[in-house]
Amino acid sequence: MNSKIAVHTQHFLEVKQSTENEMRVSGQALLRQQPGYLEARDPKKGKNEKRIIEVELSDDAQTPEEQIEAASVALRDSLGEEILAKMKGASPAFFERLVVELLVRMGYGGTRKDAGRAIGRSGDEGIDGIIKEDRLGLDVIYIQAKKWEATVGRPEIQKFAGALQGFRAKKGIFITTSDFSKEAEDYASRIDSKIVLIDGETLWNLMIDFGIGVSTIATYEVKKLDNDYFDEENG
């Protein structure tokens, strides 16, 4: 028999397993079990509007740790939808700054000031910006960022690849708030230039992982018994 767990929250709960098998739960709301539903704010509605998310648990996921993990996945997806909605509603200038901050947080571009100046060189034959691959600037990566709703198809990737060839560049990142067609992904995987495709889902996952546009207000630990400590024979 399947069961349901419920979490009342408007934000994100993440579960991480450490090497010592200690479960760490970090997020913006304390997990608590209630009958039947998971609530999260709907980004498409007003601030006080909420939607219902049900988390189904199979028979082999009944431990409290597994329940927390299942809930954390649903909460992360809900937060991702909120982030994506905010990005799509933001101005092009804000989206540009977001891309800069994310890439710098990931270790590219040297300083934020340098990265911002590079990204600002937009509209040059299909290139929106150039960013250092490392802090020393030994190599550069060309950027194309699209705040789109429609799926990005192969022609757009071909145009970007052609622009890279025009600059004798070998590396590029194509970022969109939507997604890529199968033809676009296949094309990017076959050409000589290395083009990384970052769709909307990948983008919001990176933002969560690198702490862009989100915040953590509390950390909760789930402890386990240390049997070795109570082993009198080997202690």
Output the six-digit token pair for 188.
Answer: 């990017």
Per-residue pLDDT of the chain (235 residues; tens, 9 = 90+): 444 444 444 444 443 443 333 434 433 343 444 334 444 444 444 444 445 455 555 555 568 888 888 888 888 999 999 999 999 999 988 888 898 889 989 988 767 777 665 665 545 556 788 888 877 777 888 999 888 899 999 999 999 999 998 888 889 999 999 999 999 999 999 998 899 999 999 999 999 999 999 998 777 788 889 999 998 887 5
* 97 and 178 together in one domain: yes
* 113 and 168 together in one domain: yes
Which domain CATH number covers 104? 3.40.1340.10
* 197-220 per-residue burial string, b: 16 or more CB within 10 A, e: under 16: bbbbeebbbbbbebebbbeeeeee
Reported pTM: 0.72
> Could you tell me the residue range of the domain that residue 49 belongs to?
3-89+214-230
* 146 and 85 together in one domain: no
If one counts the domains in the chain, the total is: 2
Tell me if 102 is assigned to some domain.
Answer: yes
Tell me if 204 is assigned to some domain.
Answer: no
* 97 and 186 together in one domain: yes
* 118 and 59 together in one domain: no
Q: How far apart are CA 54 and CA 41, in angstroms?
A: 14
Phi, psi for 128 (deg, rounded to 5) = -90, -20
